[in-house]
Structure 1
Amino acid sequence: MAVKLSKKWIVVAIVVAGGGVLGYQHWKSMQSALPPGIVSGNGRIEATLVDASAKEPLRVKKILVKEGDLVKQGDVLVQLDTVTLEAELAKEKASMAGAKHELAAAKSSVAQQQARIRLAQIEERRDRKLLEGDAVSQREYDVSKAALDSATATLSAAQAGVAAAQAQIEVTQASVAKTESRIRDATLVSPTAGRVLYRLVEPGEVLGPGGKALTIVDLSNVYMELFLPAEHAAALKVGAEARITVDYNPTRSAIAYVSFVSPEAQFTPKQVETKSEREKLMFRVKIQVPPDLVEQYIERIKTGIRGVGYVKLSDAAVWPAWLQKDVVNLPKSGSAQPAAPTAPEAAATSK
């Protein structure tokens, strides 16, 4: 009898415990229930990837960063060997110096010819007057006239030499500027603020044209992509308010906004004929984290962690309390930056 009673109490205890678990789960689900006008979808924190690449084949001289380093826009990442380019630049500068010397000589020749023309004009006018008074012969006047014509022709040639020398200087200046630009391009700088994801070369290796040296996660463009059914995507507006939570800390959320709603369905049945099939259509939605918020926590933000994105289908919808509590928001103007970083984080992953 005692054994039967004991078994009965065990069964009762199991039933009570099971009921408690189910009740707790129901309570949790009610706590996380979304009000009308707000929908959610699964996604992960993502960012675009950019590459630091060489424009022409050069040997890697020095790499100034390592994987995981945080870099700012304009930071020097890689220096390529420019010995051959500097030799070309020296040669081109020597050619420009020679062209400038030729220009100076051509201008001097023009000045000499202009002086000769002035003298020839004086002699031609004098002989013309003397010819009118029969003081000189026609032959003597013709010699003066020919000297003036010859000086004028020589001046035209000298002026053409000046133009040619100036053109040569412009050509060499363009070559110098091009080589200087190639030398500047041999210093690879970060095109954006971000974190070094991959280091693809080592010093001494030769990069081909367009060869990648580093891959950087662009932390100026952090977002989460999720997929919503057609009925929700149709009601969603670009610019709508959004929230992001991450799996490792779902009790905290970060503000965001809808930056993109795909105009085309991503998952489409072969034949869309019935209403149930149309409901299977899913549209890609991008939730953008404000750049100012990213900058505030840039040293902590990484990509790859999974989480949930929430969006407002209606401006009148009200966020539930659990999405408003401990929300990561932009600081008000003049307010201090929050001390504890709480922006979404994740282990770095490739896309």
Structure 2
Amino acid sequence: MNKKKIAIVVVVLALVAAAVYAIYDYQREKDQPLTLYGNVDIRTVNLGFRVDGRLASLTVDEGDAVKAGQLLGKLDDAPYLNALQQAKANVASSQAQLDLLQAGYRQEEIAQVRSEMAQRQSAYAYADSYYQRQRGLWASKSTSADALEDARTSRNQALANLQAAKDKLAQYESGNRPQEIDQAKANLAQAQASLAQAELNLQDTTLISPSEGTVLTRAVEPGTMVSASSTIFTLSLTRPVWIRAYINEINLQHAVPGSKVEIFTDGRPDQPYHGTVGFVSPTAEFTPKSVETPDLRTDLVYRLRIIVTDADDHLRQGMPVTLRFAQP
């Protein structure tokens, strides 16, 4: 009987010990920081010229580090220089035409037209006087019908010439029509727009780095005829560096934008990088195969973007990392 009691006590103690261990293990797991797995996600940019031409030179090669604003390459700019000179000449010609129309006619030109009108006035007076004489002669049957008709025709022609001279003098004295000046202004604006485009095309014969980064690929070599937007370099942007990770719905409350995260790599297991949650996808998706935890592969998860605040050159595109959220 004593042995039976002892056995019961042992069993009870074992159950109590198991329960205590289970509670301890649950509490320990609960107190562990949330751990996720992800990959370094560095953006890349395809760089090219906005205009066509023959590639004259490249200044960097694959693997070179470049800075924002650094010259990467140049096209042969001779055709664009010629186009720029032509555009400048067109602007100068259009400006001169507008100035001429706005200035009106010179006094010497007006005086010449006035003198021409006076001559045609005299010619009309003579033609009209001759016609009147012919009419008188015709009344006394002293001239022929043909002579009278010739005199009438000459008088009418002289009158038409006089009216044309008067109209021309009125035009010279009043200046050019507003419609002609407006048309000249429009021609000048068009020429100026063409000049601006020519200047932009010449500027686009140089390829400038938009940001700090590293050259991943160099697609062509000097001497190649390239078309607009053809890829010349592929540039990996150095900053910012992001981590792409995924979190399940149970732990989604921990992924608040601005939350602090420690980032561990295999090469630096004891020296974490630091980052903050910058973006949380509003829609769920199936876990991508790139995530290293097999138990999450078929779960619905939410994509996170972690912005690394102290990134260096050791973080490379696609590198796997481990993320640990700070304890709440």
**Equivalent residue for 1:76?**
71
Alignment of 1:53-68 (within 5 A): 53-68=48-63
* Amino acid of the structure 1 residue aligned with 2:33: I
Deviation at 1:104, TM superposition (A): 3.4
Output the aligned Cα RMSD.
3.5
Q: Is 1:92 paired with 2:87?
A: yes
Cα distance in 2 for partners of 1:279, 1:266 equals 10
* Amino acid of the structure 2 residue aligned with 1:223: W
The TM-score with structure 2 as length reference comes to 0.65
CA pair 219-107 structure 1, distance change in 2 beyond 3 A? same
Cα contact 2:38–2:320 (8 A) shared by 1 = yes
**Equivalent residue for 1:103?**
98
* Amino acid of the structure 1 residue aligned with 2:55: V
Identify which of 233, 237, 241 aligns with 2:252. 233
User: Highest Rg: 1 or 2?
Assistant: 2
Deviation at 1:279, TM superposition (A): 8.6
Deviation at 1:224, TM superposition (A): 1.1
**Equivalent residue for 2:128?**
none
Q: Which runs of 5+ in 2 are unaligned?
A: 1-24, 115-162, 288-294
* Amino acid of the structure 1 residue aligned with 2:318: G
Q: Which runs of 5+ in 1 are unaligned?
A: 1-29, 120-144, 269-275, 319-351
**CA deviation profile, 1:3-44 (whole Å, cap 9, x unmatched):** xxxxxxxxxxxxxxxxxxxxxxxxxxx9xx987373122222
Cα contact 1:85–1:182 (8 A) shared by 2 = yes
Deviation at 1:102, TM superposition (A): 2.2
Deviation at 1:252, TM superposition (A): 0.4
Deviation at 1:220, TM superposition (A): 1.8
CA pair 36-106 structure 1, distance change in 2 beyond 3 A? same
Cα distance in 2 for partners of 1:193, 1:266 equals 33
Alignment of 1:1-351 (within 5 A): 36=31, 38-110=33-105, 112=107, 151-154=169-172, 155-157=174-176, 159-267=178-286, 280-290=299-309, 293-294=310-311, 297=312, 301-312=315-326, 317=327
Cα distance in 2 for partners of 1:114, 1:239 equals 80
Deviation at 1:164, TM superposition (A): 3.1
SS of the residue corresponding to residue 157 of structure 1 reads: coil
The TM-score with structure 1 as length reference comes to 0.61
Higher relative contact order (CA 8 A, sep 6+): 2
CA pair 261-159 structure 1, distance change in 2 beyond 3 A? closer
CA pair 240-57 structure 1, distance change in 2 beyond 3 A? same
SS of the residue corresponding to residue 309 of structure 1 reads: strand
Cα distance in 2 for partners of 1:34, 1:256 equals 24
Cα distance in 2 for partners of 1:176, 1:279 equals 60
Cα distance in 1 for partners of 2:100, 2:247 equals 77
Cα contact 2:102–2:176 (8 A) shared by 1 = no
**CA deviation profile, 1:113-152 (whole Å, cap 9, x unmatched):** 9987xx9xxxxxxxxxxxxxxxxxxxxxxxxx99887545
CA pair 108-234 structure 1, distance change in 2 beyond 3 A? same
SS of the residue corresponding to residue 97 of structure 2 reads: helix
**Equivalent residue for 1:25?**
none
Cα contact 1:109–1:158 (8 A) shared by 2 = no
CA pair 278-104 structure 1, distance change in 2 beyond 3 A? closer
SS of the residue corresponding to residue 308 of structure 1 reads: strand
Cα distance in 2 for partners of 1:305, 1:189 equals 29
* Amino acid of the structure 1 residue aligned with 2:317: T
Deviation at 1:233, TM superposition (A): 2.1
Cα contact 1:113–1:151 (8 A) shared by 2 = no
**Equivalent residue for 1:329?**
none
Cα contact 2:259–2:277 (8 A) shared by 1 = yes
**CA deviation profile, 1:188-209 (whole Å, cap 9, x unmatched):** 1111111111111111112223
Deviation at 1:256, TM superposition (A): 0.3
How many aligned positions are there?
A: 247
Q: Greater shift after overlay, 279-288 or 181-190?
A: 279-288
**Equivalent residue for 1:22?**
none
* Amino acid of the structure 2 residue aligned with 1:157: N
CA pair 279-212 structure 1, distance change in 2 beyond 3 A? closer
SS of the residue corresponding to residue 221 of structure 1 reads: coil
